[in-house]
């Protein structure tokens, strides 16, 4: 029973560190690729579906955020590139984390927590 009491805090720290790594990866993607708002990201998603979906979303969103088809026409390619870049960076970071875990290595943050005992 005493062994379990000693192991559980380390397991919790490792799980927390893994979750923190995911958040760090998302922040890294934003820093290296640029920033898009939630509305801009949804515009890209609707544009990828169809022109009708895009028009419907922009018409609905116009009253809330003031975005219109002229804004979309001017900026859609930039927003698409930013969203694509963020997805690629996040996927590469997630793949690297999975590869480390499969290789038996702990992510760097988890390794530091275990070594320091905190």
Which pair of structure tokens corresponds to residue 9?
Answer: 């805090």
Taking CA atoms, 6 is separated from 9, 14, 110, in Å, by 6, 14, 16
Domain count, the chain: 1
pLDDT digits (tens, 9 = 90+) for 96-115: 888 888 887 555 555 555 55
pLDDT digits (tens, 9 = 90+) for 39-59: 999 999 999 999 999 999 999
Structural domain that includes position 95: 2-116
CB 53 within 8 A of CB 85: no
The structure's pTM equals: 0.59
């Amino acid at each position: 029973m005493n062994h379990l009491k000693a192991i559980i805090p380390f397991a919790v720290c490792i799980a927390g560190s893994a979750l923190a790594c995911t958040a760090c990866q998302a922040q890294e993607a934003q820093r290296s690729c640029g920033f898009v708002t939630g509305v801009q990201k949804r515009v890209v998603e609707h544009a990828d579906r169809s022109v009708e979906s895009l028009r419907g979303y922009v018409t609905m969103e116009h009253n809330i955020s003031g975005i219109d088809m002229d804004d979309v026409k001017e900026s859609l390619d930039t927003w698409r590139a930013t969203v694509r870049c963020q997805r690629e960076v996040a996927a590469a970071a997630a793949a690297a984390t999975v590869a480390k875990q499969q290789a038996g290595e702990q992510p760097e943050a988890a390794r530091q927590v275990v070594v320091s005992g905190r």
